[in-house]
Structure 1
Amino acid sequence: MSLPRSRRLSVAPMMDWTDRHCRAFHRALTSQALLYTEMVTAPAVIHGDPERLLGFDAVEHPVALQIGGSDPAQLAQAARIGAAYGYDEINLNVGCPSDRVQSGRFGACLMREPELVADCMAAIRETVDIPATVKCRIGVDDQNPAVSLFATVDASAAIGIDTFIVHARKAWLKGLSPKENRDVPPLDYALVRRLKRERPHLNISINGGIASLDEVEAHLNAADGVRLDGVMLGRAAYHEPALLGQADRRIFGQPTADIDAFAALERYRPYMAARLAEGVALPAMTRHMLGLMHGRPGARAFRRILTVEALAPGAGLEVVDRAADAVRDAETRREQAA
């Protein structure tokens, strides 16, 4: 499937969450959606341990590498390394509001410097053959989003960038924490739709506050005639990953059965077994699965077993089996009581 097609649904880059184990788990639920790494800074890519920072399993494709920085030469070098590792896309972070990001002059504060963003994207685009994309906010602090969003997009579009993922909130760099910046600034979906309407030649995905596949479908098939190219899910995909099991059918139109939670565990099992054999600790993988049984009988026991028993020395896949059985048993008891 083409990369533009896979962008109909993507899972956002989320620090401390979308590591390689998380992405492999999400791939067990959807074969189609585009997955993103956590943000990695350009200097870390260049000077750090590349296998630890960039290594991933082939099962994750299509997968995009998100990098952070504001030095065009550094970003180009980091993008070259990422492309050599086999990533399908290089994405520039122009949206993260953390203090660490601000002090490094990248992330959301780059919304104030659209020409610098364009210079960075030009350097990346000239260096790699894979798509180079931008993930941004609609503005920061006292900016007028109708001006700042279009300025950022137009500057990069002018040098040939055609794909943008827009988190439909401002970032308040003064006065709000990174966590508050995910919820407090109001969403402005209409502005993102206006961007697509007025720049129909660009590939525009929307992100921010989208909590279900019903909402994904609404954004992709809006009644106002503006068809966004993609929707990016963040926390909903992480905290309730089972919803991804319906994505191939509902969002991509695949003639396949949905992947339920138990089937996802079976599909993830070979990956877990391989990593355990390499010495990866079980909790590194099970921590991403805690929301898989959300809303089902036995979900609390499922989380407890994966959280507590996975910590035991030598814990293996039998812990995952016990957690799944706790849900099966709880559902059986409910059915018998009905």
Structure 2
Amino acid sequence: MENAHAPTYGLETKMKSLTNQDIRFSTAPMMDWTDRHCRFFHRLMSRRARLYTEMLTTGAVIFGDRQRLLGFDPAERPLALQLGGSDPLDLAKATRIAEPFGYDEINLNVGCPSDRVQNGAFGACLMLRPDLVADCVSAMKDAVDLPVTVKCRIGVDDQDPRTALFALCERVVAAGCDALVVHARKAWLAGLSPKENRDVPPLDYALVHELKRAFPTLPIAINGGIETIEQMRAQLEHVDGVMIGRAAYHNPELLLAVDPQLFGEPAPLPDGFAAVEAFIPYVEAQLRRGERLASMTRHMLGLFAGRPGARAFRRRLAAEAVRPGAGVETLLSAVDEVRCATQRIAETAEA
């Protein structure tokens, strides 16, 4: 199984535009979480979900280990790369570098409020500079034959959200942006931590719905506070897509409902137990390459959430997967905690 997707110039599968179905459901880019192991595991549970990488800065792409940073398993597709940066020339260069790896979309981060991006004057800071964002999008579009999208907030600090969001949207649409993903909260660049910025600012779904009515031909997805299939369905009455972050990460089995409930297609696997079995060949291949078991199983700790034995499953994986030489048997033993607990309950019910 090939883990690092080698560059393949002249791809025949490049997409020149995005449809509403392409963005109907996606998982959010999350630093330190949505690495290649996480994405491979998530892909097992949904064929249709659009997956996003962690944010990569333009500097990392231009000067770093490109194969390590940009390589991925072809099974992860459809896959979008999220870039962080504010210099149009650097973004264009990073986009050209990334294109031959086979990504289906390049996304510009205009929403992250962390100290790291503030120091670099990109991420959510760019909500204050919509003309610069438009220049970035235009440069990226000119550089490659791939969809270029933007993920943003509804504003930052004391900005009026409607004014800020509509100004940004107008400019990026004029620059050729293929889709917009809106985290329906403001970001506070001072006074709130990145974690607090995910929860404290109030959600304003209605504003994003208004934006869609104003830009009916632009594919628009909504992000923030959406945790259930029912909530996703409700949002899809107003916008083209939903993007889910922590809800899918902490409860991966939620992804098993995506294909049947949102696309009318069968789920790839019946349950979390089957997902583990399907993941094992990948885990074995990575272990042979020298990866540590914990690097993969840390993305599985939310599996079986709410089931009997789930706490023992998490505890066992967290304690034992980090040990030197830990292998697939550690994962299977942890899963047995759930199987045995479920069996005990069934036997008690029958008694």
| TM superposition score normalised by structure 2 | 0.93
- The corresponding residue for 2:312 is 301
Cα distance in 2, alignment partners of residues 158 and 80 from structure 1: 21
- Aligned positions of 1:285-300 closer than 5 A: 285-300=296-311
Which whole-Å deviations, capped at 9, do the CAs of 1:230-250 have from their partners, x for residues lacking one?
A: 000010010011110111111
- The corresponding residue for 2:140 is 124
Which runs of 4 or more aligned residues in structure 1 lie more than 4 Å from their structure 2 counterparts after TM superposition?
Answer: none
Q: Sort the Cα spacing of 1:6 and 1:323 in 2 relative to 1 into closer, same or farther, 3 A.
A: farther
- The corresponding residue for 1:334 is 345
Question: Unaligned regions of 5+ residues in structure 1, if any?
Answer: none
> Is 2:107 aligned against 1:91?
yes
- The corresponding residue for 1:57 is 73
- Aligned positions of 1:185-264 closer than 5 A: 185-220=201-236, 222=237, 226=238, 228-256=239-267, 259-264=270-275
Cα distance in 1, alignment partners of residues 119 and 162 from structure 2: 26
Shift of 1:258: 5.3
Which whole-Å deviations, capped at 9, do the CAs of 1:299-322 have from their partners, x for residues lacking one?
A: 011111211111222111111111
Q: Which amino acid aligns with 1:240?
A: N
Shift of 1:209: 0.6
The secondary structure found in structure 2 opposite 1:170 is coil
Cα distance in 1, alignment partners of residues 268 and 250 from structure 2: 22
Q: Which amino acid aligns with 1:126?
A: D
Cα distance in 1, alignment partners of residues 268 and 64 from structure 2: 42
Q: Please, which moves more after superposition, 284-293 or 81-90?
A: 81-90
- The corresponding residue for 1:167 is 183
Shift of 1:198: 1.1
Shift of 1:257: 6.3
- The corresponding residue for 2:167 is 151
Cα distance in 1, alignment partners of residues 178 and 210 from structure 2: 16
Question: Unaligned regions of 5+ residues in structure 2, if any?
Answer: 1-12
- The corresponding residue for 2:156 is 140
Which whole-Å deviations, capped at 9, do the CAs of 1:273-304 have from their partners, x for residues lacking one?
A: 11111111100000000001100000011111
Cα distance in 1, alignment partners of residues 74 and 327 from structure 2: 23
State the superposition RMSD in angstroms: 1.3
Cα distance in 1, alignment partners of residues 167 and 225 from structure 2: 24
| Percent identity of equivalent pairs | 61
Aligned length: 333
Contact 1:246 1:258 in 2 (8 A): no
The secondary structure found in structure 2 opposite 1:313 is coil
- The corresponding residue for 2:331 is 320
Cα distance in 1, alignment partners of residues 161 and 320 from structure 2: 48
Shift of 1:269: 1.5
> Is 2:278 aligned against 1:267?
yes
> Is 2:53 aligned against 1:37?
yes
Which whole-Å deviations, capped at 9, do the CAs of 1:108-132 have from their partners, x for residues lacking one?
A: 0100000000000000000111100
Shift of 1:48: 0.6
The secondary structure found in structure 1 opposite 2:202 is coil
- The corresponding residue for 1:277 is 288
Shift of 1:162: 3.0
